[in-house]
Amino acid sequence: MDGDARINPYLAGNFAPIRSEDDFDLTVKGEIPAAMRGALFRIGPNPQFEPRDPNHHWFGGDGMIHGFYVADGKVGYRNRYVRTPKWELEHEHGRSLFGSFGNPMTTDPLAMGNEGGVANTNIVWHAGKLMALEEGHHPFEVDPKTLDSRGYVRPYGGRVTAHPKLDPKTGEMVWFAYGVGQMPLSAGMSYGVTDKDGKVVRRSDFQAPFACMVHDFMVTENHALFPILPLTASLERAMSGKPAFAWEPEKGSYVGVMRRDADVSTIRWFNTEACYVFHPLNSWEEGDKIFCDVMRYDVAPLFPNADGSPGQKAAARLVRWTFDLAGNSDAIKETPLDDLDGEFPRVDMRVETLKHRHGWYAADPTRSGTVKQSALAHMDFQTGKRQVYELTGGDLTSEPVFVPRSADAPEGDGWLTAVIWRAAENRSDLAIFEAQDIAKGPIAVAEVPRRVPFGFHGNWADLS
């Protein structure tokens, strides 16, 4: 085996970690609108030390936050590690101690019994708190201006996932958790609500049809939907040296539908063929029907089969799932919406849980079947028109994040932000577009003097 074959792809190129924590004033080319004031926070995995597991997975790195602070046509940049208990323990010992996904087979005895949360997947501004989130631990609060770590927000009563939904009408944050219970990698789940003031007012536990990675979920004005898809979880499998999470299509796919004000015992399980969804675009309801626009994969990418053999490359495309609550069938109706491969779909956050007109996502016109996205796309669902801005020269983009022109601007009226890796220069830019005219290219670019590694999610916050 040659040297290149041994390089973990998630530790190479722009997946590779950066270890410095920096503060830069960025050079701006073009003109940032004077009305654009606030901060774009992005987060992703950035291992503090060389991982213990030779099969290290991208999802397992320590969280690092990248803050872009925009005001008066200027941009300041700051990045900091999220100093979780895991980060602190490993920092103390000067080396990696935890196995991937907490696997006890690859965890150092020094770390056994300690929290292994990485806080690397999403970063959310709610009720005056900036919180870093991941799949299986409490939210972790950081200072929005300095990015200094403040610690876990404990009132959540246990683990939560990284994809809450913010209700624009009530101000509530609606969330869920999976793998809940005494045993890791279980089928236990929780449904929770945090009110507009940051108080946790509900946490209810229930059992899913089987244990799996429930990366995200869907919420409408009155309902919550829980996708149970066959990227399964198994402690027994992990303890035998096989993958903790693996693709088992024979399990099929289920989506549980529940009124937000109802008991979890009322969940109705709809079904469809085996597929995977990391991220929905948005969901809403009309009468007795619920509509969910999701990025759907035929098979789960990035993960192996249950026997440990490599999984398939796969790409997602935007489809609409329809749930007929008044019908006699529990089948999910599926309608294709777009034929362009993509990921990280986003809407104007002011219409999350409500019917939307506009959507944006990172796209892959090359159909590579990887998570590397070389374009941005805008969909106008009212006209059916799609705009695409393609990058060149091997450049790749992050998830796009919408910024409204003003608090009361119409849906979709504002700017789109994306962090772009410039392959030839091995550094990154913050690019700003007119949200409904992305094809003409960015109206402004703020240049980072080094690269920002590929990450997961970001959100805009008005810190005034």
93 is in an annotated binding site: no
CB 248 within 8 A of CB 230: yes
The Cα–Cα gap between 401 and 389 comes to 15
Q: Cα Rg for the chain, rounded, in angstroms?
A: 21
356 is in an annotated binding site: no
CB 224 within 8 A of CB 188: no
Closest by CA to 317, choosing from 386, 282, 364, is 364
The Cα–Cα gap between 197 and 279 comes to 27
What does the DSSP assignment read for 339-383?
A: -S-EEEEE--GGGTTS--SEEEEEE-TT--SSS---EEEEEETTT
Find where tokens 């920002």 sit. Answer: 452
Task: Tell me which DSSP letter residue 325 carries.
Answer: T
279 is in an annotated binding site: yes
358 is in an annotated binding site: no
**CA-to-CA dists, residue 261 to 41, 115, 192, angstroms:** 32, 33, 11
CB 306 within 8 A of CB 242: yes
Instruction: Return all residues near 39 (Cβ < 8 A) that are at least 6 apart.
Output: 67, 68, 69, 70, 144, 460, 461, 463
Q: Binding site for Fe cation: residue ranges?
A: 163, 215, 279, 457
Annotated binding site: 163, 215, 279, 457
